[in-house]
Structure 1
Amino acid sequence: MKKYFIQKSPFVVPTTDGKLIEEHHGKAATDNSAISIAHMVAPPYWSEPFQTPEFEEYTYIIRGKKQFIIEDETVILEAGQSIKIEAHTRVQYSNPFSEECEYIAICKPAFDFTKVHREEE
């Protein structure tokens, strides 16, 4: 048995907002509920509703900028920066800028839509 697995076919999460989500490891891609790792590209002017997930989320910006509203504070990350947001924290993710934002998101435990608790828009 191999002691490693190379992901060559990530699970592409269907979206309706123009955002690319390629889950390399996680519940959908590899049936791993401990952690999820996804490559994402958020189009210009993209946003999603506030959420209060039951998991930690780490984000590393590859290119562009991404805005986070964490509780009542607005944080903007640029390429080469990263952030960790604790579980049970109210947050909104967006790209209110005119260029795409490419980033890696890691959730621990793995992203689970039933545990993200998105608010109604």
Structure 2
Amino acid sequence: MASKRYTIQTSPFVVPTTDGKIIREHFGGASDGNSQLSIAHMIAPAGWSEPFQTPEFDEYTFIISGKKQFIIENETVILSAGESIKIQKNTRVQYSNPYTEPCHYLAICLPAFSMDLVNRED
């Protein structure tokens, strides 16, 4: 019997958070052990932000709905629904949603997201 050549993810790993952000990792280190790539559906609540970080992975973000603010090095970039961005590894960045509506987005990291590689500032 031939093995399946695809995987359907119906129960992504829900990453525990303390800041109100919802992270559902469909593929990656926490969900299926893949250290090469991670794909997560994120919901950043209104008013959310996290510390600056300098990740050791490329991060691609696609905005599904709402808006998200990025401070990349010293430049502020705001993306809206339908827009996307790639931030190269070893770039200092801060992610936030200073707006009044939640932001739904997809985050894809190469290699996969890992707390050991994100390098968040205190």
Using the size of structure 1 for normalisation, the TM-score is: 0.99
Structure-2 separation of matches of 1:71 and 1:18: 25
> Which stretches in structure 1 are left out of the alignment for 5+ residues?
none
| Identity level (%) | 69
> Which stretches in structure 2 are left out of the alignment for 5+ residues?
none
Structure-1 separation of matches of 2:11 and 2:101: 27
Cα distance, 1:119 vs structure 2 = 0.2
Write the letter of the residue equivalent to 1:83: I
In the other structure, the counterpart of 2:80 is 78
Work out the number of aligned pairs and report it: 120
Structure-2 separation of matches of 1:36 and 1:114: 14
Cα distance, 1:60 vs structure 2 = 0.2
- Pick the aligned partner of 2:48 from 22, 46, 55: 46
Do residues 104 (structure 1) and 106 (structure 2) align?
A: yes
Cα distance, 1:107 vs structure 2 = 0.2
In the other structure, the counterpart of 2:16 is 14
Structure-2 separation of matches of 1:9 and 1:65: 26
After superposition, the CA RMSD in angstroms is 0.3
Structure-2 separation of matches of 1:15 and 1:32: 21
Give a deviation string over 1:14-44, Cα, whole Å, max 9, x none: 0011100000000000100010000000000
Write the letter of the residue equivalent to 2:121: E
In the other structure, the counterpart of 1:35 is 37
Cα distance, 1:72 vs structure 2 = 0.2
In the other structure, the counterpart of 1:25 is 27
Give a deviation string over 1:56-78, Cα, whole Å, max 9, x none: 00000000000000000000000
Structure-1 separation of matches of 2:24 and 2:111: 17
In the other structure, the counterpart of 2:116 is 114
Q: Deviation above 2 Å: which 4+ runs of structure 1?
A: none
